[in-house]
Structure 1
Amino acid sequence: MFFNQADLKTQVIDDNSYRQILAHSGSLMNVKVFFKQATPAAPIPVHQHVHEQTTYVLKGAFKFEIREATGTQVQEVHEGDSIYFPANVLHGCIPLADDSQLLDSFTPQREDFLQ
């Protein structure tokens, strides 16, 4: 299946971020996430979901937090870096540069993003 840029819808996440759902099917989904401004002083908002996730930094820099049973990891990542998140693990990020972008992949696809 083809997903052409001209046909992609933009979903607002909050005042500083939005996403575009890219190619997806029942077992896999790609999502591009855009951040307008850096928020280095903000606390990292964490969340969890049943999906496995990988994240690739397309542009800019981020501070990521991952909370596992073995402890909390906080690390800065930059363009070209990638991260893996197991299912149900608390994680989150804040952008450290204006106009930062991520490419997230989920398995299975995020049905909540499609509603």
Structure 2
Amino acid sequence: MFFKGNETELGRVDDNTLRKNLAYGDGLMNTLVIFEHGLASDATIPFHKHAHVQTTYVLKGAFKFAIKYPDHTDVQEVHVGDSIYFPSNYEHGCIPLEDDSQLIDSFNPVREDFL
């Protein structure tokens, strides 16, 4: 199945975030996430979790990411070309550090809530 860039639109997630589903099927989904404005590095990281396994690739800009493990919280600053793996049901989150920072997120299984 082919997914053409002009066939799907960016949708607004919140005041600072846009998301576009790139391709999905058979248990895998890729999305583009764009953060319009960077935040201060000491801004609070909003945490969330989901049953999906996730990988993230930093396409543009910089981010501060955090993952809560059972015995500690890992916080890292990541930049273009860096990747992150999020296990299922682990709390995680990020803040963009630069304007127009962009991520490619991949999920298994497909995020039905994104369709």
Q: Same fold (TM over 0.5)?
A: yes
Report the residue type matching 1:58 in the other structure: L
Cross-structure match for 1:96: 97
Name the structure 1 match of 2:13: 13
**2:62 paired with 1:61:** yes
Where structure 2 has 5 or more consecutive residues not aligned to the other structure, the ranges are none
Please give the TM-score of this superposition, normalised by the length of structure 1: 0.96
* Paired residue total: 114
Q: Provide the secondary structure at the position in 2 that maps to 1:6.
A: helix
Superposed displacement of residue 42, structure 1: 2.4
Q: Secondary structure at the match of 1:73?
A: strand
Separation of aligned partners in 1, 2:62 and 2:35: 10
- For 1:30 and 1:20, locate their aligned partners in 2 and report how far apart those are by CA, in whole Å: 9
Deviations 1:37-96 (A, max 9, x none): 101242100100000000000000000010010210110000000000000000000000
What is the CA–CA distance in structure 1 between the aligned matches of 2:91 and 2:7, rounded to whole Å?
32
Structure 1's consecutive aligned runs of 4 or more residues displaced over 3 angstroms after TM superposition are none
- Please name the residue that 1:76 is paired with: 77
- 1:25 aligned onto 2:40: no
Shift of 1:9: 1.9
Could you tell me how far apart the structure 1 residues matched to 2:6 and 2:22 are? 11
The one-letter code matched in structure 2 to 1:84 is: Y
Gaps of 5+ in 1: none
